[in-house]
Amino acid sequence: MGMAVNKVGIISCSGEEIPEGTISRIAALLVLEKLRYDETVTICLPLFLAGSEEERVFARLFPTITVDGCEKRCAEIGTKKYSGKPAATIVVTDILKKYPNLNLKSRDELSAEELELAEKVAEEIAKKVDEVLEQKRGPKRRES
């Protein structure tokens, strides 16, 4: 089955229990709705288990970037297990290390500071989207 090269699949953890999960969800949505609206698609991670083969084929149709809130890496593990190896992975707690003074508190309404972090995570996802698309499109350009 051929992989679509014009779109990248963004798969976020659900992360209900921790603020980092909400950051990963909001960051993924910022990419999908604003930063790379035309280049990205998504699927709910739990649909890999709840759904059918139609859903599980997702990572074979699109190169994927997983976005996880914590070291449990549910999005990365779940995508690998049910659908296919992600093209790139992001973990919010890794990015947080760059901001040691930032103390995440809310898993519901993000503060201005937390929203700023979500925007930074979104920018990192967007960079990865560009890299993945460049890798996928690159060989085609050279052929022509």
Binding site for another protein (CB under 8 A): 12-18, 21, 25-26, 28-30, 32-33, 42-51, 72, 74-75, 77-78, 81, 107-108
Instruction: Give the nearer residue to another protein in terms of CB position, either 53 or 143.
Output: 53
Find the shortest distance in angstroms from Cβ 108 to another protein: 4
The candidate with the shortest Cα–Cα distance to 40, out of 130, 115, 144, 119, is 130
Find the shortest distance in angstroms from Cβ 11 to another protein: 8
Find the shortest distance in angstroms from Cβ 49 to another protein: 5
Instruction: Give the nearer residue to another protein in terms of CB position, either 29 or 61.
Output: 29
| 54 within 8 A of 61, measured Cβ to Cβ | no
Is the sign of the CA dihedral 98, 42, 57, 59 positive or negative?
negative
Find the shortest distance in angstroms from Cβ 139 to another protein: 31
For the chain, state the CA radius of gyration. Answer: 15
Phi-psi region at 3: left, alpha or beta (left = phi > 0; alpha = psi -120 to 50): beta
Instruction: Give the nearer residue to another protein in terms of CB position, either 39 or 139.
Output: 39
